[in-house]
């Protein structure tokens, strides 16, 4: 499936200990030039779990009642965990749910920089 940076997608997220997986939303953070030329894409985990929200600079809160939040296609207030990234083959993306606005992607970029300790 072709995706673009900022797409909110559903995918079968494999647990880091390989004990199982769970269908969940994720955010495409890879640049579009690579989404068009590579079979893989880079995703950031999106969760509605309050226990995963730690208030770190690496996390972005999404309020689904806001104008930007409504575009995401998320069903619950959520957190983008930019410290939790995975590279997957695009064939494992189940569907596209929504899209992040340019403003949300700028905020995501700040969280990615914090997670990767980039200036």
d(CA 38, CA 31): 11
Residue 2 within any structural domain of the chain? no
CA dihedral angle for residue 97, residue 43, residue 52, residue 112, rounded to 10 degrees: -120
pTM of the model: 0.92
Range of the domain at 56: 7-116
pLDDT recorded at residue 47: 95
pLDDT 10s digits, 5-58: 999 999 988 887 889 888 999 999 999 999 999 999 999 999 998 777 777 899
pLDDT recorded at residue 22: 87
d(CA 95, CA 104): 20
pLDDT recorded at residue 43: 98
| Contact criterion met (CB below 8 Å) for 110 and 117 | no
Residue 84 within any structural domain of the chain? yes
Residue 12 within any structural domain of the chain? yes
Residue 57 within any structural domain of the chain? yes
pLDDT 10s digits, 44-87: 999 998 777 777 899 999 999 999 999 999 999 999 999 999 99
Residue 1 within any structural domain of the chain? no
Alpha helix locations (H) across 1-119?
32-37, 67-71, 102-116
For the chain, what is the domain count? 1
Q: Strand 7-14 and strand 21-28: pairing?
A: antiparallel
Residue 76 within any structural domain of the chain? yes
CATH of the domain at 78: 2.30.30.110
Residue 42 within any structural domain of the chain? yes
pLDDT recorded at residue 46: 97
């Amino acid at each position: 499936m072709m995706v673009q940076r900022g797409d909110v997608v559903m995918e079968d997220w494999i647990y880091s200990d390989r004990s199982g997986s769970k269908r969940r939303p994720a955010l495409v953070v890879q640049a579009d030039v690579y989404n068009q030329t590579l079979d893989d894409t880079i995703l950031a985990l999106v969760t509605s779990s309050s226990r995963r929200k730690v208030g770190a600079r690496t996390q972005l809160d999404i309020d689904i009642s806001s104008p930007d939040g409504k575009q995401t296609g998320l069903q619950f207030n959520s957190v983008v965990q930019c410290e939790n990234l995975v590279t997957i083959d695009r064939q494992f993306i189940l569907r596209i749910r929504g899209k992040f606005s340019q403003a949300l992607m700028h905020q995501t970029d700040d969280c990615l920089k914090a997670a990767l300790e980039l200036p």
